[in-house]
Amino acid sequence: EIVLTQSPTTTAASPGEKVTITCLASSSVSNMYWYQQKSGASPKLLIYSTSSLASGVPDRFSGSGSGTSYSLTINTMEAEDAATYYCQQWSSNPPTFGSGTKLEIK
Amino acid sequence: EVQLVESGGGLVQPGRSLKLSCAASGFTFSNYYMAWVRQAPKKGLEWVATISTSGSRTYYPDSVKGRFTISRDNAKSSLYLQMNSLKSEDTATYYCARQQGPGYPYFDYWGQGVMVTVSS
């Protein structure tokens, strides 16, 4: 099973600040997927196939990476971006998720 | 608008069974793989099961294989999860999720979730 390690576990950013969340895979994966989960809500797809924005997702979000290292970037932090973010792979079975990065607003 | 509405959760004793349902609307249900993903309290996400468009193929992680069964009724646009021999570690919110398909291994829409508590 591929283990996904996210960092940081928790972070806080001021409005307008750039935020980067990293996801390291225990083995090489071909693509990474990212989800946003706000408090008390269900997860929402943000990024698919490493760098493609899901429908309706603001373009301040972006994804990049390859092999075992992937990242999610929020170009300019907004209050509504406060949430927990999860990465996910399915290059090999079973699909796995990272343990999450909690992003708070300063 | 894509909607996924889960039902059937609740409190159940260890070793007993429970069946979850998910009613889908806003898209052609029979064209999509579907999945269940769970989240234990204050924990991360765990994939539980996936079913192909026709229902002929199903996939499970080792943690639930042999105990859980995913199924679907395309005529009713409904997804199901039969959970047997439940354990305390199955306590979680269970989400119904639409999956793009074998070439698109991610979950693009999620339901609001239904809570399952396994406790005596």
DSSP 8-state symbol, B91: -
Q: Give tens-digit pLDDT for A22-63.
A: 999 999 999 999 999 999 999 999 999 999 999 999 999 999
Mean pLDDT in residue range B79-105: 93
Query: SS3 for chain A, per residue?
Result: CCCEEEECCEEEECCCCCEEEEEEECCCCCCCEEEEECCCCCCEEEEECCCEECCCCCCCEEEEEECCEEEEEECCCCHHHCEEEEEEECCCCCCEECCCEEEEEC
Shortest distance, CA A39 to any CA of chain B (angstroms): 11
Does B29 contact chain A (CB < 8 Å)?
no
Instruction: Tell how strand B10-12 and strand B114-118 pair up.
Output: parallel
* Partner-chain residue, chosen from B44, B46, B106, that has the shortest CB–CB distance to A45: B106
The edge-to-edge listing of strands for the beta sheet with A69-74 is A4-7, A19-25, A69-74, A61-66
| pLDDT in the model for residue B103 | 73
* Averaged pLDDT, B56-62: 96
Q: Is 90 exceeded by the pLDDT of residue B23?
A: yes
The pLDDT of residue A58 is 97
3-state helix, strand, coil split of chain B in percent (to 5) is 10, 55, 40
Instruction: Test A43 with B110 for CB contact under 8 angstroms.
Output: yes
High-pLDDT (> 90) share of chain A, %:
99
